Amino acid sequence: MGNGHTEHKTLVERLQFIDRRIIFVFIGLAVVIPLLFGAVLKEETTPIVQTFFDTIEGLPEGSRVLLSFDYGPTTAPEIQPMVDAIVRQCAHRKSKMYMMALWATGDNLTGETIEKVLKPEFPDYKYGTDYINLGYQTGNQGLIRVLLVDFKMMYAVDASGTDVDSIPMMKNIRNLKNFDLIVSFGGGSPGIKEWVLYAGDPGKIPVGGGCTAVSAPLLYPYYPNQLIGLLGGAKGAAEYENALINAYPEYKGRKMAGMKLMMSQAVSHVVIMFFILFGNILYFIQRSRDKSRSMEAGR
């Protein structure tokens, strides 16, 4: 009896300190399998995302939207789906898109968005009249402060070195106040917070943002007074895609990137929750055993 009790206790203890590689395998499978099968999870759009969508939807044709690519490859899987969705919507609304980057790595991702979304899906959209890639400039928040006063001082040429004065859509741009909306992608620094503090608030320019799920709770306090809306992680992207599908029927039935990520994320979260609950059950079993053992020892 005594031996059996000891063996059982050892099993609980062993399970509590399970080899982490076993957890890794479960998480790996939970992430990969839904992605391999291309399973899609549709998300209902929440108000914080819907307000953002409605703001762009309400912009008149030819409105100027500044898209700042303030992220890198680390967060691109989460952020790129929201970038693609917003670029699609702006193109449908015939907004003029000004793309720039506060992060050096954002420059290449801007090019990727143009090549993979704008050019193939909106061939009528012309460089220089409908969209422009201004590229990366150093300076972080200092750059934003200069842009608020004099845009062309920092962006005298576009990403390919063309003089911006020769580009039609840059003719009437003097500073950030000439834009109808600023959208920053990326939750790091510099990013959404800096755009709010150094451009949105002092210039009274509407600012919206898309960031990783980890950064979203830090940015919620800025909504709704200082941010028109916020897309948080893959869920935010999937919600935006849902709003896009509802507004533009041509996207119906299309498996969009954010929605695909959501299924993978949902399954992996279930696995993590299972492990947390399992760990707690083991913890309580262990605790009750320890208590009864100490009581026995007390007698």
Partner 1 sequence: MKRRVPLAMVFIVSLFMVIQYFVPLDSLAWMYQYLLDWTIIIGVFALLLGIWSLWHVSYGKIKQRAENWQYSIVTLAGLFIMIISGFIPGWGNLNNYVYEHLFYYVLVPIQATMFSLLAFFISSAAFRAFRARSILASLLLFAGLVIMLRFVPMGPVSTVVADLAGWILRVPNMAAKRAIIIGIGLGAMATAFKIMFGIERSYLGRD
Which residues make up the interface to partner 1 (CB under 8 A)?
Answer: 17-18, 20, 23-24, 26-28, 31, 41, 44, 46, 72-77, 105, 107-108, 111-112, 135, 138-140, 142-143, 145-146, 149-150, 153-154, 159-161, 217-218, 220-221, 235, 262, 265-266, 268-273, 275-276, 278-280, 283-284
* Nearest distance from C-beta of residue 93 to partner 1, angstroms: 28
Name the helix (H) or strand (E) containing 278: helix 257-298
- Residue 47 or 62 with smaller CB distance to partner 1: 47
Strand partners, 208: 183
- Residue 181 or 260 with smaller CB distance to partner 1: 260
Q: Largest Cα–Cα distance in the chain? A: 92
* The two three-digit tokens of residue 205, written as one number: 């320019």
* Nearest distance from C-beta of residue 37 to partner 1, angstroms: 16
CA distance 258 to 279: 31
CA distance 153 to 26: 53
For the CA atoms of 83, 86, 88, 93, the dihedral, rounded to the nearest 10 degrees, stands at: -150
* Nearest distance from C-beta of residue 18 to partner 1, angstroms: 8
DSSP assignment, residue 131? E
* The two three-digit tokens of residue 203, written as one number: 């210039």
- Residue 59 or 188 with smaller CB distance to partner 1: 188
* The two three-digit tokens of residue 265, written as one number: 């994320």
Three-class secondary structure of residue 170 per DSSP: helix
Which ranges constitute the DSSP H helices of 38-159?
47-57, 76-92, 104-113, 119-121, 140-149, 151-154
- Residue 114 or 181 with smaller CB distance to partner 1: 114
* Nearest distance from C-beta of residue 198 to partner 1, angstroms: 10
* Nearest distance from C-beta of residue 185 to partner 1, angstroms: 16
* Nearest distance from C-beta of residue 36 to partner 1, angstroms: 16
Name the helix (H) or strand (E) containing 283: helix 257-298
* Nearest distance from C-beta of residue 108 to partner 1, angstroms: 5
* CA 203 to mean position of chain CA atoms: 25
Question: What's the first-to-final CA gap in the chain, in angstroms?
Answer: 19
* CA-CA-CA-CA torsion sign (187, 190, 195, 201): positive
